[in-house]
Amino acid sequence: MKRWGLVAMIVLTVLPLVTTGLAVLFVLPDTIPLHAGASGIDRIGSKLDAFELAPFLVSFGALATVAYARMDRLAAKYDSDAHSGRVLLLFALALMNVWQLIFLVWMAFGTK
């Protein structure tokens, strides 16, 4: 389980770059909404601006992957359960990717 979990963490870490790249190439229009407030969309930009969030997501994923790999040591240090920590990190990365997909769909259809 630990090995496959680590593979899943690495895949979930790289996935934001892949999904953003595919969205920019095949789905997103030339101009996309970048921010929306109470009054609606208040910032638009180029479809390449969709990559603004990807470095933060990959950085968080890399940090979470390192924490996943060292979870046994962290659990022993803080007298905690390593399995629960691993499940939480996998869930956090999966949720991060779901939110990114929601934002990409919003960018694709938000200006229409």
Annotated domain spans of the chain: 2-109
pLDDT at 56 over 80: yes
Q: What is the pTM of this model?
A: 0.85
Half-sphere exposure of 49 (CA within 13 A, CB side): 14
pLDDT at 80 over 90: no
Tokens (6 digits) for 107: 């960018």
pLDDT band at 20 (very low <50, low <70, confident <90, very high): very high
pLDDT at 1: 56
Distance (Å, whole) CA 98 – CA 73: 29
Alpha carbon separation from 11 to 14, 40, 69, 93 (Å, rounded): 5, 34, 14, 10
pLDDT at 55 over 80: yes
Average pLDDT score over residue span 13-22: 96
Question: CA 47, 52, 56 angle in degrees (round to 5)?
Answer: 150
